[in-house]
Amino acid sequence: MIAKLLLDKKREGHALGSAEIREFIDGFTKGEIPDYQMSAMAMAICCRGMNERETADLTEAMMNSGRSLKWDFPTADKHSTGGVGDKLSFIIQPLAAACGINVPSLTGRGLGLTGGTADKLESIPGLTCSLPLDRFQSVVKEVGLSLALQTDEICPADKKLYALRDVTGTVTSIPLIVGSILSKKFAEGSGTLVFDVKTGRGAFMKTKESAVELATAMVKAAQLSGRKSAALVTDMDSPLGYAVGNANEVKESLDILSRADKGLEDIRDLSVEFAALMVSLTKGISLDDAREMCAEKLADGSALAKFKAMVAAQGGDLDRFARLLEKPTFKFCIQAPKSGYVEDIDAEKVARVAFRLGAGREKAGDRIDPLAGVKLAARIGDKVSTGSALATLESSSEPDGLERNAAELLKAFSIVSGPVVKKSLIIERIS
């Protein structure tokens, strides 16, 4: 294979063959194709695109750059493109596991405004998501579920390519995003992949059109590579739930799993919907039957038991977590400036405040304050009166810039005089 000829081919807008894509990625992984040729290919893909088959081939090739896991039982996972207050993995994954499906879920740390699943989960004292792959495999076999960090053995080509995309203006290319996200999900070995593609102010995909395009490309690439797959495009204009941070999000998930979730019915229902998609595709049963099974497993405490078993297997101590939540921390409450109904809460503004309070990290390796974040006191549609609580800023100790953060958080809320109709969280279904 002569890399330059493949660059000419893609620059002219032609489709690359499966073997050509495989050899290009293989050469790049081994260092035989230099960064400048990979960067040129990334730009050519960005400008010319890739068809569904090429995207699936790129994904397989990236998966094969490292280790990939195989299971001898049915497996499924859900991947979210990430959002503000997105704690759904702590509900959906245990719920699917409680329905008898094994869930090997490799995840990442957060960078930027929103925290990652691993960071949130590690706010439970003792718990680690840094599991060697063989330990990850045994937790999945013992418990039916593990949420762990991907290791360096998984998709080394993605790590190298992402670093180039970041500095060559090629991060936004849909085939490259699909290859990057899906290769890691393929490597964990899940036979069913369900995607939560979020759209709105607090999401990576700001418009509905771009979110639908990404969701469709992910589902098609997964299906063409022999996996069962579906996606929901969901709203991320406003935060999910009351809690935005780390420990507070885990606590809120535990409340939903324990059915102590007043005011969180929308999140509970969305979680049931995602888990039902996983169950229905994996078991080959109707979505209605799967929904019923998931609702039962949530109500009878089986999903909570799965979550607890996973926490214990990964070293976590929920008694110490309960004591951590009782620790006196810095809290500052913002109040409604007028009476009315909450019409809107800007997810991006809330995320920015939570980030500045210490809930996120600017660069890899930065320390996160597990107790930092924002706790909403009112959600969209709620009636508020002048002086009633809208939200609390929280952190382990008094933060810098409290006034600025409180003012920004207040600006996230819009209050109107008449009742507000809540939007559905599900915007589009892709299968």
Does the annotation mark 363 as catalytic? no
CB 226, min distance to ligand URA, A? 21
368 touches ligand URA (CB under 6 A): no
Does the annotation mark 79 as catalytic? yes
- If the CB atoms of residues 54 and 266 are measured against ligand URA, the closer one turns out to be 54
Per DSSP bridges, beta strands 413-416 and 383-384 are unpaired
Does the annotation mark 8 as catalytic? no
Q: Of 80, 105, 180, 190, which residue is the catalytic one?
A: 180
Does the annotation mark 165 as catalytic? yes
Q: With CB under 6 A as the contact rule, which of the stretches 173-181, 213-221, 275-283, 357-365 interacts with ligand URA? A: 173-181
177 touches ligand URA (CB under 6 A): yes
Residues touching ligand URA, count (CB under 6 A): 3
**How far is it, in rounded angstroms, from Cα 368 to Cα 190?**
30
The single-letter DSSP state of residue 267 is: H
CB 366, min distance to ligand URA, A? 19
124 touches ligand URA (CB under 6 A): no
From 73, 143, 54, 123, select the one nearest 373 (Cα to Cα). Answer: 123
**How far is it, in rounded angstroms, from Cα 23 to Cα 336?**
60
76 touches ligand URA (CB under 6 A): no
In the three-class reduction of DSSP (H, G, I as helix; E, B as strand; rest coil), residue 194 is classed as: strand
Q: What are the tokens at 279?
A: 């169950």
Backbone angles phi, psi at 188, to 5 degrees: -75, -15
376 touches ligand URA (CB under 6 A): no
Does the annotation mark 180 as catalytic? yes
Closest residue to ligand URA in the complex (CB)? 180
Q: Of 10, 78, 79, 120, which residue is the catalytic one?
A: 79
From 51, 117, 131, select the one nearest 81 (Cα to Cα). Answer: 117
- Beta pairing partners, 235: 199
How does DSSP assign 231-245, residue by residue? EEEEE-SS-SSSEEE
180 touches ligand URA (CB under 6 A): yes
181 touches ligand URA (CB under 6 A): yes
**How far is it, in rounded angstroms, from Cα 385 to Cα 337?**
8
Catalytic residues: 79, 158, 165, 180, 184
Where on the chain is the footprint of ligand URA (CB under 6 A)? Answer: 177, 180-181
